[in-house]
Amino acid sequence: MARRSDPPPATMTELLRAALRGAESLRQVERDTGLKRQALAKFVRGEQSLRLDLADKLAAYFGIGCRRKDG
């Protein structure tokens, strides 16, 4: 029986967590963005949320955008 793949991430939080999990290393993300590695790790584990300005910085780093949904 074929396995179904997981659905794509639906929220900005899920998108950012997936991007961080796929990153070369959290240390590199820290160097490139100035965001603390410990905070990023806690965010990935779901122990902490991010302020909106930090989420914006991460989204820009990973090339993740958002757009208004019509209707």
Please report, for the chain, the start and end positions of each structural domain, with discontinuous segments joined by +. 12-62
Give the number of C-alpha atoms closer than 13 A to the C-alpha of residue 42, restricted to the C-beta side: 9
CB 42 within 8 A of CB 48: yes
- Residue 25 to residue 3: CA distance in whole angstroms: 29
Global pTM? 0.80
3-class DSSP state of 69: coil
3-class DSSP state of 53: helix
CA 52 to chain centroid, in Å, comes to: 12
User: Tens digit of pLDDT per residue, the chain (71 long)?
Assistant: 445 677 776 899 999 999 999 999 999 999 999 999 999 999 999 999 999 999 999 999 999 988 887 75
